[in-house]
Amino acid sequence: MNKLVLSFLSLLMVAGCGGGSDKTDNVAACKAFLTKVKCGSVDISSQVDCDAYANTACDISDYFDCLSTKYVCVDGSYDETKLATLGDCTSKATCQ
């Protein structure tokens, strides 16, 4: 699973689009995502820095919604087949 978390973290670079806006709260969206995908004893929150999204110039909450569909908990572990499709969310992490 570490490779998949690293894939998620590498998307932070994609999302950094400049100064933030009062209309976006990507930090809150990220934190909500982390809360939503808690899975048994697996906790990825220590590996994800939601504050890194504070200066993203656009709303990328759809990105976190997409990620939530990939981090599916089955019997206390993430479904590896769903995690393998994390790349499907990448386009939602960019400012247009």
pLDDT tens per residue across span 33-77: 999 999 998 889 999 999 999 999 899 999 999 999 999 999 999
Structural domains counted in the chain: 1
Q: Are 14 and 94 in contact (CB under 8 A)?
A: yes
> Among candidates 38, 90, 40, which has minimal Cα distance to 64?
90
- 96 occurs within a structural domain: no
Distance CA 42, CA 61 (A): 23
Distance CA 72, CA 15 (A): 23
Residue 20 pLDDT greater than 50, yes or no: no
Q: Where are the beta strands (DSSP E) in the chain?
A: 73-74, 77-78
| Confidence at residue 8, expressed as pLDDT on a 0 to 100 scale | 54
| Residue-range definition of the domain harbouring residue 58 | 2-91
- 10 occurs within a structural domain: yes
| Phi (first) and psi of residue 42, to 5 degrees | -80, 125
| Confidence at residue 16, expressed as pLDDT on a 0 to 100 scale | 46
Distance CA 43, CA 56 (A): 24
| Confidence at residue 96, expressed as pLDDT on a 0 to 100 scale | 77
